[in-house]
Amino acid sequence: MGRNGTVQLRLVGESPRPPRRQRNIDRRPREYLTPAEVETLIATARKRSRYGHRDATMILIAYRHGLRVSELCRLEWSQIDFANGLLHVVRLKGSISTTHPLRGTELRALRRLKRKQEASRHVWITERSAPMTAGGFRQLLRRTSSESGLGFPVHPHMLRHACGYKIANESHDTRALQLYLGHKDIRHTVRYSELSSAAFNDFWKD
């Protein structure tokens, strides 16, 4: 019996409707992470499995460079210039590719990873000697966030947003942030500045 007393018939063998997907806003308090939350994820990933160093390094690189999950999983060693401390970021979805500096923490983590795992052109290798997939990283991040005590599920794009908000909160130039994230349209970048609290820091003096 449906609404208004109408009878609803279901064909034999017809599957019931799947449950409606829960909205992101109902599952997570926001669509980005704070630097402290990212550090919590990295620390949790580092100790949660025998692939902890790989997992922690993936989260670090995704966050520091604002990578989409597809850009992260396609990363190859040829994009990493250890001698000059550079990462050649190949952007997808029509975004602008660029070159980012790699800091000491990142370089040490990547060098250790390259020493530990078998030779491959891909940076992120699974236990089956195959490149990490986007689905695999989503699952990895979901398990890590569950064990981290953050209290809400984390998806890969939250790391890209975390990068944008962190840089915007430090009052860096919006144009520079646009280039760093590879946005062709600066309107996609401005939202990070709009939601940054840095502009309000001098409103109250305690």
Alpha carbon separation from 26 to 21, 22, 152 (Å, rounded): 10, 7, 10
Could you read off the pLDDT tens digit of each residue along the chain, which spans 206 residues?
Answer: 445 555 554 555 555 555 554 444 444 567 889 999 999 999 999 998 889 999 999 999 999 999 999 999 999 999 999 999 999 999 988 889 999 999 999 999 999 999 999 999 999 999 999 999 999 999 999 999 999 999 999 999 999 999 998 988 887 788 888 889 988 877 777 777 666 556 555 556 66
| Contact present, 125 and 136 (Cβ < 8 Å) | no
> Which DSSP symbol is given to 137?
H
In a domain, 110, yes or no: yes
In a domain, 147, yes or no: yes
**CA 137/CA 51 separation, integer angstroms:** 12
The domain containing residue 124 runs over which residues? Answer: 30-196
pLDDT at 175: 87
**CA 204/CA 206 separation, integer angstroms:** 6
pLDDT at 206: 64
Task: Tell me the catalytic residues.
Answer: 68, 93, 157, 160, 183, 192
Residues 46-50: contacts with CB within 8 Å, 24+ apart? Answer: 48/143, 48/144, 48/147
In a domain, 47, yes or no: yes
Nearest by Cα to 188 from 155, 161, 169: 161
CATH number, position 101: 1.10.443.10
| Contact present, 60 and 105 (Cβ < 8 Å) | yes
- Burial code (b: 16+ CB inside 10 Å, e: under 16) for 141-178 equals beebbeebebeeebbbbbbbbbbbbbbbbeebebeebb
In a domain, 131, yes or no: yes
In a domain, 6, yes or no: no
In a domain, 65, yes or no: yes
Diameter of the chain measured on Cα atoms: 74
Number of domains in the chain: 1
In a domain, 96, yes or no: yes
In a domain, 98, yes or no: yes
The rounded radius of gyration (Å) of the Cα atoms in the chain is 21
